[in-house]
Amino acid sequence: MEYFVYFCNINVIKILGMEGILDMELFGISVRWLLTFVIKGAIIYLVVRVLTGVTKYLFFRSLHKQRKIALDETKVSFMRRIIVTAIYIIGIAAFLSLIPGMEKVSNSILASAGIMAAAVGLASQDALSNIIGGLFIIFSQPFKLGDFVEIDSTVKGTVIEITLRHTVIRDAENRMILIPNNKINSSTIINSSYGDTSTCAFVEVGVAYTVNLDRAIEVMRDEIMKHPLLIDHRTEEDKKKGLPEVIIRVINLGDSAITLRAWAWASSAATAYSMKCDLLKSVKERFDAENIEIPYPYLNVVNA
Question: What are the pLDDT digits (tens) for 95-122?
Answer: 777 776 665 655 666 565 455 555 555 5
Residue 71 pLDDT more than 60? no
Give mean pLDDT, residues 177-184: 87
Q: What is the pLDDT of residue 193?
A: 78
Alpha-carbon gap, residue 73 to 174, rounded angstroms: 22
Question: What are the pLDDT digits (tens) for 185-232?
Answer: 888 888 887 778 888 999 999 999 999 999 999 999 999 999 999 999
Residue 161 pLDDT more than 50? yes
Give mean pLDDT, residues 124-128: 63
Phi, psi of 94, rounded to the nearest 5 degrees = -65, -40
Angle at 303 between CA 297 and CA 304, to 5 degrees: 130
Question: What are the pLDDT digits (tens) for 241-292?
Answer: 888 999 999 999 988 899 999 999 998 888 998 999 999 999 999 999 999 9
CB neighbour list of residue 245: distance below 8 Å, 6 or more residues apart: 225, 230, 232, 234
Angle at 191 between CA 188 and CA 195, to 5 degrees: 130
Ramachandran assignment for 28, one of left (phi > 0), alpha (psi -120 to 50 degrees), beta (any other): left
Alpha-carbon gap, residue 106 to 83, rounded angstroms: 19
Q: What 3 state SS string does 58-81 have?
A: HHHHHHHCCCCCCCCHHHHHHHHH
Give the CA count within 13 Å in the CB-facing half-sphere of 123.
16
Q: What is the pLDDT of residue 16?
A: 45
Q: What is the pLDDT of residue 246?
A: 92
Q: What is the pLDDT of residue 154?
A: 85
Residue 240 pLDDT more than 50? yes
% the chain with pLDDT above 90:
25
